[in-house]
């Protein structure tokens, strides 16, 4: 097994492994002038260069800071078509929800995506995933949800599968918006046909639902999440984006991995998340792009919740192609400290995907890490509009 000793690291900066909540999100370990030994894709040892095992091949990192690879726990990176006309309408005052209610928005992405082949979808998604990885993402969740029908949903998930190993993808089946007619039958078919079929083909590890006035009710969401659990899948939710209609409380009750968005969450939803093991995933790109209120990141951490950050990369509400930018925006828009934002984008993002083998730099963790351009890790949350990440390593190998 090849061993590599990474040397000349100005600072190695990491949260502790596993989900971190409340004040513990600020507890980073910062080790100056250090070396790190990797073998078989896993971190084996971290310590002073002088104490390192001598027979490993050396990789000099040039005196820069090293942080864990970022984990993007929420993307819709597979879509066809564009939303450029929606964008122009929105900046002139037409609300996102009104565009959706008129049959545009998500429904227009569904028409374009439904007409695309798996190969088309793979070709469209690849440069987006490449951009996320260049920005520091070493694992990324990708959702379906733009399928016009079940076959189109399955094509989206097959496109994710084609790119899964190359980019470290975690696939989620998203039940996004109901058909305009026959929604009760649709929910039944999701529970009895789509979910079992996805499980049979191993196409997703979790099911997500958009719980919102313009999408699914709490009762419909409950039925879908129950079916997911019955078939052994994890659950997560898009909730409280525009209105807090009870999705967050339901997700906490059912033990969902995460609730994502939370822009409209109030004290009751914050308390429910703080009392649960469900991760609160905030998506500050949506605040920037739609001009929505920011999710209450500060209040969630103060209450003791575990907060994660994602890009929500999608054509309608968050055309954010950088996981590092999402981290940096969480500091500005949701009032996380830089340390909290690093924890939110690493171990807590891993927890939002049900993973505990990554997100921290410690013996036994996957050797997914970033060498920055700077000797000071704080350039990661500080930088806007340029890339502070110099090299991305997955399992100890530069990509
Ligand atoms: O996370 N709000 C629901 N779904 C996506 C948006 C998808 C779209 O606008 O195409 C979101 O914001
Ligand atoms: Fe989303």
- Considering 331, 352, 373, which residue would you say is the last residue of a domain? 352
Whether residue 208 sits in one domain with residue 289: yes
Which residue of 216, 263, 317 sits with most ligand 1 atoms within 8 Å of its CB, as the best mutation to test the pocket?
Answer: 317
Whether residue 112 sits in one domain with residue 76: yes
* 297 in Cβ contact with 335 (< 8 Å): yes
Low-confidence ranges of the chain (pLDDT < 50): none
How far apart (Å, rounded) are the C-alpha atoms in residues 283 and 311? 6
Whether residue 107 sits in one domain with residue 13: no
- Looking at residue 148, its pLDDT comes to 83
Report the separation in Å between the CA atom of 177 and the middle of ligand 1, taken as the mean of its atom positions: 10
Give the annotated binding-site residues for Fe(3+). 74, 76, 238, 312
Whether residue 76 sits in one domain with residue 58: no
Whether residue 117 sits in one domain with residue 28: no
How far apart (Å, rounded) are the C-alpha atoms in residues 34 and 10? 7
Whether residue 227 sits in one domain with residue 195: yes
Whether residue 229 sits in one domain with residue 105: yes
Angle, vertex CA 295, rays to CA 293 and CA 301, nearest 5:
145
Q: Please work out whether the CB of residue 310 comes within 6 Å of at least one atom of ligand 1.
A: no
Whether residue 168 sits in one domain with residue 36: no
> Which CATH number does the domain housing residue 233 bear?
3.20.20.140
Q: Please work out whether the CB of residue 108 comes within 6 Å of at least one atom of ligand 1.
A: no
Q: How many domains would you assign to the chain?
A: 2
Whether residue 150 sits in one domain with residue 11: no
- Looking at residue 147, its pLDDT comes to 92
Give the C-alpha distances (Å, rounded to integers) separating 213 from 4, 260, 289. 53, 16, 21
* Ligand 1, atom 8, residue with closest C-alpha: 316
Count of CB atoms situated within 10 Å of the CB of 176: 22
Angle, vertex CA 41, rays to CA 35 and CA 46, nearest 5:
20
Give the annotated binding-site residues for N-formimidoyl-L-glutamate. 146, 314, 316
- Looking at residue 173, its pLDDT comes to 98
**Ligand index nearest the alpha carbon of residue 287:** 1
Q: Please work out whether the CB of residue 317 comes within 6 Å of at least one atom of ligand 1.
A: yes
Which residue of 144, 238, 290, 311 sits with most ligand 1 atoms within 8 Å of its CB, as the best mutation to test the pocket?
Answer: 238
- Looking at residue 143, its pLDDT comes to 98
Whether residue 30 sits in one domain with residue 56: yes
Report the separation in Å between the CA atom of 261 and the middle of ligand 2, taken as the mean of its atom positions: 8
Whether residue 55 sits in one domain with residue 83: no
Domain holding 377, by residue range, is 3-69+358-398
Structure token pair of residue 168: 């470290």
Q: Please work out whether the CB of residue 137 comes within 6 Å of at least one atom of ligand 1.
A: no
- Looking at residue 2, its pLDDT comes to 81
Whether residue 172 sits in one domain with residue 140: yes
Report the separation in Å between the CA atom of 265 and the middle of ligand 2, taken as the mean of its atom positions: 16
Give the C-alpha distances (Å, rounded to integers) separating 380 from 65, 68, 257, 390. 10, 11, 27, 11
DSSP state of 361: -
> Which CATH number does the domain housing residue 55 bear?
2.30.40.10
């Amino acid at each position: 097994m090849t061993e590599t000793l990474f040397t000349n690291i100005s600072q190695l900066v990491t949260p502790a492994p596993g989900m971190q909540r409340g004040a513990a999100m600020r507890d980073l370990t910062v080790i100056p002038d250090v070396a790190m030994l990797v073998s078989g894709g896993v971190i084996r040892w971290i310590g002073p260069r002088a104490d390192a095992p001598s027979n490993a091949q050396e990789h000099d990192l040039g005196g820069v800071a090293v942080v864990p690879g970022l984990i993007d726990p929420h993307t819709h990176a597979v879509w066809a078509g564009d939303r450029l006309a929606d964008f122009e309408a929105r900046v002139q005052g037409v609300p996102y929800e009104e565009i959706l209610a008129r049959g545009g928005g998500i429904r227009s992405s569904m028409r374009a995506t439904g007409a695309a082949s798996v190969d088309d979808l793979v070709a469209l998604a690849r440069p987006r995933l490449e951009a996320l990885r260049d920005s520091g993402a070493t694992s990324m969740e990708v959702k379906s949800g733009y399928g016009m029908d079940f076959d189109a949903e399955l094509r989206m998930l097959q496109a994710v599968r084609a790119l899964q190993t190359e980019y470290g993808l975690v696939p989620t089946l998203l039940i996004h918006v109901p058909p305009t007619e026959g929604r009760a039958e649709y929910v039944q078919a999701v529970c009895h046909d789509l979910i079992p079929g996805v499980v049979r083909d191993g196409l997703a590890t979790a099911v997500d639902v958009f719980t919102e006035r313009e999408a699914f009710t709490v009762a419909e969401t409950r039925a879908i999440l129950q079916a997911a659990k019955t078939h052994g899948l994890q659950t997560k939710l898009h909730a409280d984006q525009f209105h807090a209609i009870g999705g967050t409380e339901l997700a906490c009750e059912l033990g969902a991995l995460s609730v994502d968005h939370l822009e409209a969450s109030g004290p009751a939803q914050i308390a429910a998340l703080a009392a649960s093991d469900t991760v609160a995933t905030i998506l500050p790109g949506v605040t920037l792009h739609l001009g929505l209120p920011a999710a209450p990141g500060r209040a969630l951490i103060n209450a003791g919740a575990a907060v994660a950050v994602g890009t929500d990369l999608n054509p309608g509400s968050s055309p954010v192609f950088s996981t590092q930018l999402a981290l940096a925006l969480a500091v500005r828009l949701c009032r996380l400290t830089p340390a909290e934002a690093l924890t939110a984008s690493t171990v807590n993002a891993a927890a939002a995907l049900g993973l505990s083998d990554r997100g921290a730099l410690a013996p036994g963790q996957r050797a997914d890490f970033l060498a920055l351009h700077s000797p000071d890790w704080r350039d990661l949350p500080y930088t806007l509009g340029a890339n502070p990440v110099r090299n991305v390593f997955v399992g100890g190998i530069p990509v």
